[in-house]
Chains A and B, each alone.
Chain A
């Protein structure tokens, strides 16, 4: 026996699993197409999960980045609003003066947000005040509003919709002139003048969100505490910007979590079915071999061990492929639909998705494994 072999087979009394792993590997290599398809299917399962999570993260991070881009220190939201969506404008614009009278508040800016379908919204701003709090837009082309029919869009939206300064664009059943295209990252993607949007949507004098600037950044918490103590603001959501952006997460978007669960559930079912079929055919095909192993004295546990190893290996290979494919799906989204959804690569979800794939696969291997372990050796050996 060669030295190489000697070391490979040496066991020091501990059970050597080398041989079992080799059998698992050889079995997978024995049916390359079945193995490849199983790995591919598990890969798709993992990509489905990771792409969805990546899109959610991308969307939420983008929201948080834009919220920070406003330059405010404190955010005030009306009762009953959620972090991500603002569908109504229930706050009176009289609040602006009220807040500006509060200690250490140097500036209050009200905005109005109106949904226009999909994940897009149109935002009404008072441009002077907005420039003061945010430091002003940086125009890629064009400039500020000139008339009531003017809109300002960010470069992202402009690219997506093929717009440039001077283009006409229809929104809310109305033709708008693109006055300027600005660098993205401040509050929203589509802006109109606040009174125009208020009037157009029947919300005259109403605001959906108010941003405050504090004269001394160290006093954010103090001001928030003070505002929360005012009885009239009891039901309002008052956050420092830091608190607010930390709330922009999957958990705080209504329905998103449930949606992710549904997709994960579907993924697990896909993985389950694929592995079930693959392992079931493998067990049928190896009936004789299982009979041989049993004749040699292999226990049910030994046979099960063999199949579990094979299943876990399939799931792990599929997970690696799935992770690689998320880079592909991101590239596809960016290439085919430029400036649409942002998909992030979220490595913290890799082990989660792989874990889910492994669990789904093990569920799929349960019945075939049981069937194999229960095989009668005499019948199995007589199997043609």
Chain B
């Protein structure tokens, strides 16, 4: 990969307090992600992959070390700064889809643009995203009327509609059957290949991990191994 580095993690440590005990969730993580890369992170529960996801996504501040996204260091950012960063720099996809149940699929996507203060009559991106997702005919439905696979596709659309520097996906196929998992993973690969979307995906499933260019293995808060996926 010769593309510029879009995410640069150096000696990242994160310690949080659970009750009276300090938990060292990340113990010096170093990771570079190039623009247009699709990275899978695997590891057992408690290995720190979710914490890495939260720190890189700007949901929680690092305890020490640096995390640069598009050249911007997350260390030292205030809550409000990190909130601002989330609007446009990162997009989240969760295991449980996390769509707003009272809004239609279209409005679930729209609200992400609204929060980011984007104007949706400059619609090229929106249209492109919808075409790629292949759910144009389902957009007026509310989440409860959609299958898990459809909901996850809407969630992906919501995550990328603001053209984020990186798409963070936390077990995106964890709640899906094999068929829908394949659809969602193909979609992520399509986004990566056709639109150049940088993706960081957490997964338990080795098959899912193989969709990425690289698989990073984590254990006990550190990266223990990195494998390139063989085409």
Binding site for B on A (CB under 8 A): 1, 6, 9-13, 15-16, 19-20, 22-23, 26-27, 29-30, 288-289, 291-299, 302, 377-378, 381
Contact = CB atoms under 8 A, between A and B. Distances in A.
A296 B54 contact: no
B94 A20 contact: no
Given A23-B100, A381-B98, A11 B119 contact: yes
B120 A295 contact: no
Interface string B142-162: 000000000000000010000
A27 B142 CA distance: 13
Nearest to A292: B98
B59 interface: yes
Residue from B57, B86, B114, B117 with most neighbouring chain A CB atoms (10 Å): B114
Interface in B104-137: 107, 110-112, 114-117, 119-121, 123, 127
- 5 smallest CB-CB distances across A and B, nearest first, come from A297-B87, A26-B102, A297-B86, A292-B98, A30-B102
A288 B85 CA distance: 20
Interface string B60-93: 1000000000000000000010011111100010
A23 B102 CA distance: 7
B98 A288 contact: yes
Given A30-B101, A289-B101, A292-B100, 7 more contacts: A16-B114, A19-B110, A295-B59, A296-B111, A297-B83, A378-B59, A381-B98
Contacts of B111: 19, 23, 293, 296
Contact of A299 (B83, B101, B102, B110): B83
A378 B54 contact: yes
Q: Choose among B85, B100, B102 the residue with the greatest number of A CB atoms under 10 Å from its CB.
A: B102
Contacts of A294: 83, 86
Contacts of B92: 295-296
A250 B110 CA distance: 53
A84 B98 CA distance: 65
A16 B118 CA distance: 10
A378 B119 contact: no
Contacts of B115: 293, 296-298, 302
Q: Is the interface of A mostly helix, strand, loop or mixed?
A: helix
Nearest to A288: B98
Contacts of B60: 378
Contacts of B185: none
B110 A10 contact: no
B187 interface: no
Nearest to B85: A297
A11 B85 CA distance: 23
Contact of A11 (B84, B100, B102, B121): B121
Nearest to B60: A378
A288 B102 CA distance: 13
Contact of A19 (B59, B114, B116): B114
A291 B96 CA distance: 13
B155 to A, nearest CB: 9
B9 interface: no
Size category of the binding interface on chain B: 20 to 34
B103 interface: yes
A235 B107 CA distance: 74
A293 B117 CA distance: 13
Contact of A9 (B85, B86, B121, B158): B121
A378 B119 CA distance: 28
A383 to B, nearest CB: 11
Nearest to A295: B92
A296 B100 CA distance: 12
B110 A9 contact: yes
B80 A299 contact: yes
A295 B57 contact: yes
A288 B60 CA distance: 17
B117 A15 contact: yes
B230 to A, nearest CB: 34
Contact of A297 (B84, B98, B99, B119): B84
Contacts of B102: 23, 26-27, 29-30
A15 B86 CA distance: 19
B136 to A, nearest CB: 9
A299 B115 CA distance: 8
Contacts of A20: 114
Nearest to B89: A297
Contacts of B117: 15
Nearest to A293: B115
A298 B85 CA distance: 10
Contacts of B59: 295, 377-378
A296 B112 contact: yes
Interface in B144-203: 158
Nearest to A20: B114
Contacts of B119: 11-13
Contacts of A10: 121
